[in-house]
Chains A and B, each alone.
Chain A
């Protein structure tokens, strides 16, 4: 087990929160984890991203060049990280906001209209967790039930009302990609170009 995940979006889209869900779950499942946020002026209006590493070994470098898994939530993130995903890796694209397509043939790409799906569930701000579900639906590096336990264990009291909606968002993401592709099938989405 050694996964290097980048989650990137506009500040406020919840990229850092989604990354923390992964990090907490990884820790609770007994793995070594690191989580680092981008910090600085870029958070105001540009992209905010985090790097999460989950490993069965001590983690040396918490900084990486090529993620094995990447979630891009907005167009600048797509532009920046799509070329960097490690060959054989997974790219999860928020296709509500990102209108371009990856032309790479050496990675798996899934397009998830996460804002739309989250809006259907009643809160567009949960697009981040829909995308996390989609990612785990394709590569279950951590148990989906584990993410739900993390929500229960680690959300502070004043945000506990978001636990159930987040669980539904997670499930919706999983269901969306599994319906689209089928579990375990090689990764080609119809809408993917090239």
Chain B
């Protein structure tokens, strides 16, 4: 059974359906007008591929199961060059394999959407939820000077909304846009609403390779052998990144009024922390939660403001402490920062975070 067995394709706005995160990602992409999907199976994101295999072909759109993630990202590159809305999804080791292609796309200003459903690492690791790819997602990942807009949802509904937005943002900035989630969001079922199915639409893309009939030819490349020319292209890219930083900061705040302790966590860790913070509030502890939604651009400015009134910060991640470095950058260590992290696919329980909060509040053991 079956959130997957959707019958009929209209009017879902008025009706919630129960759906697995991975399937919701696929459906959201379809609703956003994704015309071409390329992927390679890897747990815990394989349901995206399965869903796409069925629905994309039903709709007469392009679906290819590539021979590897290297193949998949380069197929995305090729399809996107023609102006198609293209997408791939993968999980951590697969995302590593894609880095070369992603770097090429960033430098050649080609939009696409890439989803990384993170799993335990490093290495082959395991298939359990993790946030160990934060550095890779936010600091570049591939070679060269680039950063991709990276959005980190914490529920299935938010995932759907951000996937749909990601396609528009990719077009807006002519850059790959990433959605960063983890195995838990991929596997969870939650009620979700979708916008109506739209026919794929292509915004004006004068740069696309559509056959040069009646116009000057377009060239899409990331190879610029002349150093000054490559620097000019780099400056163009940096200008785009500066715009992304200025326009696309997103975050959510919970109970920050009068909060002496502020917990900072994103994605799955963010929603687990939400329960811990709520319980701590019920026990009279002045604690709030700050949840970055864009992890690149990171909400440095807002966090700096928060650090002016908070007395302590607690960063919670399913990693050894990667976003922690951005929190330090944002606050310049003006307030004490504690960290609680689990690794290897271990998902922290609300009780563990609550204990940590109580410890900081001086009310715990």
User: Do residues B44 and A39 form an inter-chain contact, with CB atoms below 8 A?
Assistant: yes
User: Do residues B2 and A62 form an inter-chain contact, with CB atoms below 8 A?
Assistant: no
Is B110 an interface residue when CB atoms closer than 8 A count as contact? no
User: Do residues A61 and B18 form an inter-chain contact, with CB atoms below 8 A?
Assistant: no
Interface of chain A: mostly helix, strand, loop or mixed: mixed
Kindly state the interface size class of chain A when it binds its partner: 20 to 34
Tell me the minimal C-beta distance from A128 to chain B in angstroms: 12
Is A81 an interface residue when CB atoms closer than 8 A count as contact? no
User: Do residues B191 and A27 form an inter-chain contact, with CB atoms below 8 A?
Assistant: yes
Known contacts: A27-B16, A40-B128. The answer to whether A33 contacts B275 by CB under 8 A is no
Docked Cα-Cα span, A33 to B189, in Å, equals 8
Known contacts: A27-B191, A60-B274, A63-B349. The answer to whether A35 contacts B18 by CB under 8 A is yes
Docked Cα-Cα span, A63 to B18, in Å, equals 18
Is B347 an interface residue when CB atoms closer than 8 A count as contact? yes
Docked Cα-Cα span, A106 to B347, in Å, equals 28
Docked Cα-Cα span, A20 to B5, in Å, equals 14
Q: Which residue of B lies closest to A57 (CB)?
A: B278
Docked Cα-Cα span, A33 to B191, in Å, equals 7
CB-contacts of A48-84 with B (<8 A): 59-65
Is A154 an interface residue when CB atoms closer than 8 A count as contact? yes
User: Do residues A61 and B191 form an inter-chain contact, with CB atoms below 8 A?
Assistant: no
Is B184 an interface residue when CB atoms closer than 8 A count as contact? yes
Is B223 an interface residue when CB atoms closer than 8 A count as contact? no
How many residues in B have their beta carbons less than 8 Å from beta carbons of A? 28
Is A94 an interface residue when CB atoms closer than 8 A count as contact? no
User: Do residues A34 and B349 form an inter-chain contact, with CB atoms below 8 A?
Assistant: no
Contact indicator per residue, chain A 179-193, by CB within 8 Å of chain B (1) or not (0) = 000000000000000
B-chain residues with CB within 8 Å of residue A156 when the two chains form the complex: 1-2, 5
Tell me the minimal C-beta distance from A4 to chain B in angstroms: 11
Residue of A37, A60, A61, A154 touching B187 (CB-CB under 8 A): A37
B-chain residues with CB within 8 Å of residue A59 when the two chains form the complex: 190, 271
Is A142 an interface residue when CB atoms closer than 8 A count as contact? no
CB-contacts of B144-182 with A (<8 A): none
User: Do residues A34 and B272 form an inter-chain contact, with CB atoms below 8 A?
Assistant: no
Tell me the minimal C-beta distance from B120 to chain A in angstroms: 10
User: Do residues A39 and B127 form an inter-chain contact, with CB atoms below 8 A?
Assistant: yes
User: Do residues B1 and A17 form an inter-chain contact, with CB atoms below 8 A?
Assistant: yes
Docked Cα-Cα span, A64 to B272, in Å, equals 9
Is A23 an interface residue when CB atoms closer than 8 A count as contact? yes
Is B341 an interface residue when CB atoms closer than 8 A count as contact? no
B-chain residues with CB within 8 Å of residue A141 when the two chains form the complex: none
Q: Which residue of A lies closest to B187 (CB)?
A: A39
Known contacts: A27-B16, A61-B272, A61-B276. The answer to whether A35 contacts B188 by CB under 8 A is yes
Sort A-B residue pairs by CB-CB distance and give the 5 closest, nearest first. A60-B274, A60-B275, A61-B275, A35-B189, A61-B272
Supply 16 further A-B pairs (C-beta < 8 A) apart from A35-B188, A60-B272, A155-B1.
A27-B18, A32-B191, A33-B18, A34-B190, A36-B188, A59-B271, A60-B271, A61-B271, A61-B274, A61-B275, A61-B276, A63-B349, A63-B350, A65-B349, A155-B2, A156-B2
A-B contact pairs, 10 of them (CB 8 A): A34-B190, A35-B188, A40-B43, A40-B128, A59-B271, A61-B274, A62-B188, A63-B349, A154-B2, A155-B1
